[in-house]
Amino acid sequence: MNTNNKGRGRSAASKPTRSSKKKVDSKKAGSAKSTTKKGPVKATGPKSETSGKRDVTIKEKRKYSDFKERVKKGDPLPKFNDDAIRLNKFLSNAGICSRREADVLIETGVVSVNGKIITELGFKVSLTDVVKYDNQSIRAETKRYVLLNKPKGFITTMNDPMGRKTVMGLVANACKERVYPIGRLDRETTGLLLFTNDGDMAKKLTHPKTKCSKLYDVELNKGFNADDMERLLKGVDLEDGTSKFDKVEFVKDGTSRELGVEIHSGKNRIVRRTFEALGYEVVKLDRVKFAGLSKKDLPRGNYRHLTEKEVAFLKMS
């Protein structure tokens, strides 16, 4: 009897009661709900609401890494900084001499800044500094930007030994500063040509990395075959490399001989030579756009000065 009672006591103690079962079941259900409960959905926009940082995509990372690799090749692009420039560049911009010649002048001790002789080649000056060469004060030239709508019959050069007409005669009265053409147009080509005394701007617009865009109106000696359009876009082999156009299309309301082409290459006579390689002769060639500048309201043979907005655009682009 005692043994049976003990056994019954142990079995009774080991079995959970109905109330305890309900408590356990309710705890399990609660834990299940807590595990299946979804948290707040994160914002997928360009910026996170909590951190305020922009999520950089893989495509953007790849683009940035490609840019870093590109800028390592060749000469660096110029930086536009009017606050402080090298002393040799200051002398060159003032029309005293070239930069190399300015280095010689600095080393010989004939250049002073604010009354102190400077012999350090990397020395920088600001526009408020008083620079003297051979005891004569020097003022930096004002930067000038002159846009010309070039007519036919003028060659792009500073002077011609053969006495032919040059583009410099067309802008002789544009400013007292001596300006230089950026790039060139051949004698029979018309259209936009930019002049400046800003060396950094000239270097930027002619640098291969800038890919300065140029838009031309072209008239050929015969109708253009549409099949050749793909060849111009893919690339045409020339003696000095491959010529590849960015855009090619027929002129609206024009004939099959008239085309509009966009190209960023600055090689000599590149448009004419490319069409000649395909069996065409360029009869008329007119540059209607250069680096985003248009010849609108600029008659042939006339020039105008760029606005501050246009200059800022060229520096940023």
Nearby residues of 276 by Cβ (< 8 Å), 6 or more positions away: 282
Nearby residues of 140 by Cβ (< 8 Å), 6 or more positions away: 90, 93, 94, 127
Contact (CB, 8 A) for 229 and 269: no
Contact (CB, 8 A) for 265 and 211: no
Residue in the block written with tokens 């030239």: 141
CB atoms within 10 A of CB 205: 19
CB atoms within 10 A of CB 306: 17
- Give the pairing of strands 190-196 and 282-290: parallel
186 catalytic? Reply is yes
Strand, coil or helix: 180:
strand
Contact (CB, 8 A) for 213 and 201: no
H helix or E strand, kind and range, residue 92: helix 87-93
Backbone angles phi and psi of 219, in degrees to 5: -120, 125
Annotated active-site residue in 66, 129, 134, 186: 186
Looking at the DSSP bridge assignments, the partners of residue 173 are: none
Catalytic site positions: 186
